[in-house]
Amino acid sequence: MIVVMKPNCSEAAIEHVLRFLEQEGFTGHLSRGVERTVIGVIGSVNVQNPPGKGMITPALGEALEAFPEVEGVFRVSKPYKLASREFHPDDTVVEVPVACVAGGTVRIGGPAVVMMAGPCTVENEKQLMTTAEAVRKAGAVILRGGAFKPSTSPYGFRGLGEEGLKLLAKASREFGMAVVTEVMTPADVPLVCEYADILQIGTRNMQNYMLLDEVGRAQKPVLLKRGMAATIEEWLLAAEYILSQGNRAVILCERGIRTFEKSTRNTMDLSAIPLVKQLSHLPIVADPSQGTGRRDLVAPMTLAAVAAGCDGLLIEVHPNPEVALKDGAQSLTTEQFAELMPRAEAVAQAIGRSFVTA
């Protein structure tokens, strides 16, 4: 349910509605737009609640409409509420502190496209620093790199752990880039928050609800990858878990889905980008490295993703992909990445956008 407040209503009036909702067993989530303030009403079916408390009913809507500062009450048709455009008509812009850009802040979801690049996995200091220097020089402003890595095989390389986080932090200080890295368990969230600027939830953890709740309580932006077999609705409901805990800085990431096709590692669902833009206010980035699993397809899918309207890109780069410990087949060389950036910028300009690079 959505409560639309009248234009220019007072803070006291908004607080009055929020207190009423709390007394009735609901949680009210504020969304302040250019013209109006909207309150999303989330129910809570709890055995400790008295009968009828926390359940959205027509009577609740009638009670809310009786408030003099309420313009109207509407039901949200989607199962995801806080993630829907019905609740939040304006685009959400996630601000990330980035020392290497003018003003010290990157806005993901704004007019400019944001490039995030780096190795799939942090292997050692030389590999990371070489890659970070190269991608920053080419125009990337956020450094990607895995310190904790899920692996299909238990015998595969699973990351350096905290040592990898420390190396990412060192590269961040050296080159002024923000860091996005994966967190895999609820217990690891405080540790990763010490080093990362954006917490990444990988495809295998998209429906790890305890982890989603925990990052929702963290004061860090969250990049939520689409599950490899997830529908768009399931993906947005996963985002709802994070939003419902109070963290509004959620970035969606299309990284390909599993289909019957065997020529590529995944099938990159580019149609998801404009569709999600219609359904949700959350920014969306694309990962053509995971999306295809093939180095030769990363560049064309990058250009296509920019044309489709993505707000950012997540690209794997390695100084020597042939000896990479993880996902070398889908990693660009530093030279290939440098060649890709001006092409991606040209596509962005063709659709009235730009890349933030400095």
Span 120-140, pLDDT tens digits:
999 999 999 999 999 999 999
The pLDDT score that the predictor gives to residue 52 is 59
- Residue closest to 166 by CA, chosen among 134, 201, 119, 122: 122
Q: What are 105's strand-pairing partners?
A: 97
- Side chain identity at 249, as an amino acid letter? A
User: What is the spatial distance between Cα 339 and Cα 333, in angstroms, rounded to a whole number?
Assistant: 10
Q: Over 80: is that where the pLDDT of 273 sits?
A: yes
The pLDDT score that the predictor gives to residue 36 is 77
- Residue closest to 42 by CA, chosen among 18, 71, 15: 18
Domain boundaries, the chain: 2-74, 94-355
User: What is the spatial distance between Cα 27 and Cα 53, in angstroms, rounded to a whole number?
Assistant: 12
User: Cα–Cα–Cα angle for 288, 229, 307, nearest 5°?
Assistant: 30
- Residue closest to 317 by CA, chosen among 144, 81, 87, 111: 144
Average pLDDT over residues 311-315: 98
Q: What is the pLDDT of residues 164-187, one digit of tens each?
A: 999 999 999 999 999 999 999 999
Q: What percent of the chain has pLDDT above 70?
A: 97
The pLDDT score that the predictor gives to residue 176 is 98
Q: Are 211 and 157 in contact (CB under 8 A)?
A: no
What's the mean pLDDT when you consider all of the chain?
93
Q: Over 90: is that where the pLDDT of 304 sits?
A: yes
User: What is the spatial distance between Cα 312 and Cα 333, in angstroms, rounded to a whole number?
Assistant: 20
Average pLDDT over residues 307-318: 98
Q: In which residue are the tokens 């889908």 written?
A: 330
Q: Say which residues have a Cβ less than 8 Å from residue 66's Cβ, sequence separation at least 6.
A: none
Top mean-pLDDT range of 39-53, 82-96, 173-187: 173-187
The pLDDT score that the predictor gives to residue 301 is 98
Q: Are 340 and 334 in contact (CB under 8 A)?
A: no
Determine phi and psi for 291, rounding to 5 degrees: -65, -25
The pLDDT score that the predictor gives to residue 51 is 56
The pLDDT score that the predictor gives to residue 47 is 46
Q: Over 90: is that where the pLDDT of 150 sits?
A: no
- Side chain identity at 60, as an amino acid letter? L
Correct CATH for 2-74 of 3.30.70.20, 3.40.50.300, 2.60.40.420, 3.30.70.1140: 3.30.70.1140
* CATH code given to domain 94-355: 3.20.20.70
Average pLDDT over residues 226-250: 96
Q: How many helices (H) and strands (E) does the chain have?
A: 11, 15
Furthest-apart CA atoms within the chain: distance in Å: 67
The pLDDT score that the predictor gives to residue 44 is 67
For the entire predicted model, the pTM comes to 0.89
The pLDDT score that the predictor gives to residue 255 is 98
User: What is the spatial distance between Cα 36 and Cα 71, in angstroms, rounded to a whole number?
Assistant: 10
User: What is the spatial distance between Cα 105 and Cα 60, in angstroms, rounded to a whole number?
Assistant: 42
